[in-house]
Structure 1
Amino acid sequence: MPAIDDLVLFTQVIEHGSFSKVAELNNVTKSVVSKRISKLETELGLQLIYRTTRKLTLTEPGEVLYHRAKSISHVAQAAFDSVKGYSEALSGKIRMSVPTISGELVLAKAVSDFCQKHPGLSVDMSLNNHFVDLVADNYDLVIRTGYLEDSSLIARHIFNSRWVICASPAYIEHYGKPEKPKDLNCHNCLGYNPQSTGPFDWQFIKQNKIYTQKVSGNFSSDNAIALKKNVLAGNGIAYLPNCLVHDELERGELVELLSTHAGKVVGIYAVYPYTRKPAKRIQALIEHIRESYMEIKEKF
C-alpha cells in the first residue's frame, strides 16, 4: 500500500504544478520529489502524471487519485493543528448555528460551560431548524444532522442520534399497541417536518436494510418539542430523537413502540468551510461538544 506521505506529496505537486516548488516547501531536493512520485506510480502500476518541460498533466487515473486524495493533506494538517499550542489561551468570537433540539437539550449549557473555561472567548449561538448557508451567513461553525451533500464544507462526525417511536400509555389503552410497522396505518401519526424524506415517511429496518413506510396523521410540526407535548397529551404516535423523550420513557410517561423495527439513526456533525483553516478556538469547541455528547451518550 502506498505511503500516506507520498499521496500528500502527489497532491502538492498537482496543486503547485511544480516539482521544484514542492521540493522547496518540504526542504528536499527536486530529485527526491520526482523519485517519490515515480515510486508511487510503480507501486500502483499506473502512470499518474505526464511530464513535459513546460507543464505537468494528470493522466486519467492520476485525476481520479488526486480528487480522492486531495483531502488527505488538509486532514493531516488539521490533526497537527488540533494539538499544536493546545494549552494556549483561547480568545475571540465564534458565530455558530445549531438545531433547536440540540441547542435546548445539550449545546446551550455545553457551549456556555466552554465560554466559562475561556474568559477571553465569546460565542453567539443561533438555534435554527432550517438549513443555513454557513459561508453566506458568515457562521464559523454549524452543527448539522443528517447527510452532508456540500463537498466545499468539512464535516466532523460527533455522534449518532437514535430515534424512537413512542406514544402515551393513555393513547395505547384507547387505540391499542401497534405490533408491526403496517399497523401504523390504523393510527394517528404525528409528523416531523424537517425530515428530508417528508414528515410522514418513517424509516424502518428489515433484514439489516432500511426502508421507508408512509404513515398519516392530523398534525405535523417543525418543532420536536411541540410533537412531544402532543404525544404526552395522548394525541398520537410520534417518531422522535431518543434524547428528547429519554426521561419520559424512563418515568413511564411515554412507551417505546416497535423498538425492533425502528431504523432511524441520524448523524450529528460539526461543519465548517473547507477553504478556511479552522482556528484553534473552533477546534477546541468541536472537541468540547463531542465530549459533552459522550457524557450523556445513554440518552442518545
Structure 2
Amino acid sequence: MDSIFGNIDDLFLFCKVVEQGSLQKAAKALNLPQSTVSRRLAALETRLDLRLLEKKGRELTPTEVGKLTFENLSSGMEQIESGIESLTEQTNQVSGRVRLSIPHSFYRSFIAPTIERFLKTYPSVRLDLVLNNDQAKPETDRDLLITFDIEDMDDMIARPIFTSRHGFFASREYVQQCGEISTPTDLAALDWVAIDQKNKLPFFRDGKLYEEHQIKPRLVVNDIRAVVDAVSRGLGVASLPLRHAKEATNLVQLLPEYHRSDRQSFLVYKARKYQPNAIRVLIEALLEESKDLGTATTKEKNTS
C-alpha cells in the first residue's frame, strides 16, 4: 500500500525503529536484514526531505522532527495492526510472538508445565520468556507480566492468580544454637536472610496484624530459592513461602502461629479491545493453572 510519502511499510518500519531503539532490534522484530532496514529508512528520509533519526551512542533516537512524525503516525499504525490482528482473530489462528516476564523461581515451581503444553498445542506461537525479578511493565499488546507488585499498574489489567502464605523458618542446627524462641521479639533479634531491603517485618496472628519489628538482614538476595539454600545452610532465619520451605528437608518452622502478610501475585497485561489470539489463549491457560494453585494455597493455610 502506497501513501503520498511512498510505501506505507516504510512508515511502519520507522515507527518500529523508534519503539525498539536500534536498527538491529527493529530488524530482528520485523524479521528483516538490518541492511534492508537501513536502506529503506534512508530512502524514506530522502522522500520526505527530513532527518528523522540520529545516532546517540549505540542507539538510534528520533530527531525533534522524528518525534513529531512518530507521535502523528504511531496511533495510526497501531490501528492498522489491530485491524490485521482482528482478521486473524476471526480465522481462529493462534500465532505470532508473545513476551512473558516472570520471576524464575515462580516459573520453575508453578508455570513451566503450562508453558510447555501451550507451546506444544500452538506450534505457530513464538514465546520470548524473560525470567528475572525485575518489574517489566508491559509495553505492547503482546506483553504479559506475572508480578507481586502492581503499584504502578493502574493503566493495566491485573488479574489475581496466586496467593502465597509465608512462615518463619531456620535450619535445625541454627535453632539449636539460638536457644529458646518464644516471641516475635526473640525472632526479630536473630540473623535474617531476606529477599529485599525492607527491614520492617509485620507479624500476623489469626489473620490480624499483631505487631511489627525491625530486622537486620545478614544476607539480602533477590531469589527465593537462594534464600532457602542460605537458610538451609544455617545462615539465619527467613520468611519463606510454605511451598518452598517444604522442599528443604532440614528446615524448622518457628512460631507457626505467626506469619507475615500473604502475598498476592497478578497476571498483568494491557487493556485492548481486539486481543491477539495467542495472548488470549495463554492468559486463559495461566488463569486455569491458577485454579489448581489456589487449591494448593488453601491446603497450605489449613496446615500452617
Q: TM-score range by the shorter chain?
A: 0.5 to 0.7
Equivalent pairs counted in the alignment come to 208
How big is the alpha-carbon RMSD for the aligned residues of Structure 1 and Structure 2?
2.6
Structure 1 residue aligned with 2:214: 214
Gaps of 5+ in 1: 1-84
Task: State the one-letter code of the partner of 1:256.
Answer: Q
> Residues 94-119 of structure 1: CA distance to partner in whole angstroms, max 9, x if unpaired?
11101122122222332122111222
| CA shift digits 1:197-233 (9 cap, x unpaired) | x433222214643354211132111122221111111
> Is the 8 Å Cα contact of residues 146 and 266 (structure 1) preserved in structure 2?
no
Deviation at 1:123, TM superposition (A): 1.3
Verify the 8 A CA contact 1:168 1:255 in the aligned structure 2.
Answer: yes
TM-score (norm 1): 0.62
**Which position in structure 2 is the counterpart of 1:29?**
none
Match of 1:270 among 261, 267, 270: 267
**Which whole-Å CA distance do the structure 1 matches of 2:110 and 2:156 have between them?**
24
Cα distance in 2 for partners of 1:177, 1:98 equals: 39
Cα distance in 2 for residues equivalent to 1:143 and 1:226: 20
2:138 corresponding residue in structure 1: 134
Asked if the contact 1:159–1:290 (Cα under 8 Å) also holds between the matched residues in 2, the reply is: no
Q: Does the 8 Å CA contact 1:272/1:278 hold for their aligned counterparts?
A: no
The Cα of 1:255 is off from its aligned counterpart by 1.4
Query: What does the per-residue CA deviation read over 1:126-153, in whole Å, with 9 as the maximum and x for residues that have no partner?
Result: 01211113217x8611111134442111
Q: Kindly indicate whether residue 211 of structure 2 is the aligned counterpart of residue 171 of structure 1.
A: no
1:188–1:237 CA contact under 8 A, matched in 2 = yes
1:225 aligns with 2:225: yes
Q: Return 5+ residue gaps in structure 2 as ranges.
A: 1-88
Residues 294 and 255 of structure 1: CA distance in aligned 2, closer, same or farther (over 3 Å)? farther
Structure 2 counterpart of 1:160, which letter? Answer: T
Cα 1:166–1:184 shift into 2, 3 Å: same
The offset of 1:275, in angstroms, is: 4.6
CA contact (8 A) 2:98 2:143 kept: yes
Amino acid of the residue matched to residue 198 of structure 2? P
Q: 1:87 offset after TM fit, Å?
A: 11
The answer as to whether partners of 1:201 and 1:213 remain within 8 angstroms in 2 is yes
Structure 2 counterpart of 1:199, one-letter code: K
The residue number in structure 2 matching 1:53 is none
Q: How far is 1:170 from its partner?
A: 1.2
Secondary structure of 1:219's partner? strand
Q: Which residue of 2 aligns with 1:235?
A: 235
Percent identity over the alignment is 24
Q: How does 1:45-124 map to 2 (within 5 A)?
A: 88-124=92-128
Match of 2:200 in 1: 201
CA contact 1:163–1:241 (8 Å) conserved in 2: yes
Spell out the pairing of 1:10-29 with structure 2 (5 A cutoff).
none
How far apart are 1:191 and its partner, in Å?
1.5
Return closer, same or farther for 1:129/1:116 CA change in 2, 3 Å cut-off. Answer: same
Looking at structure 1, the residues matched to 226 and 164 of structure 2 have their Cα atoms a distance apart, in angstroms, of 19
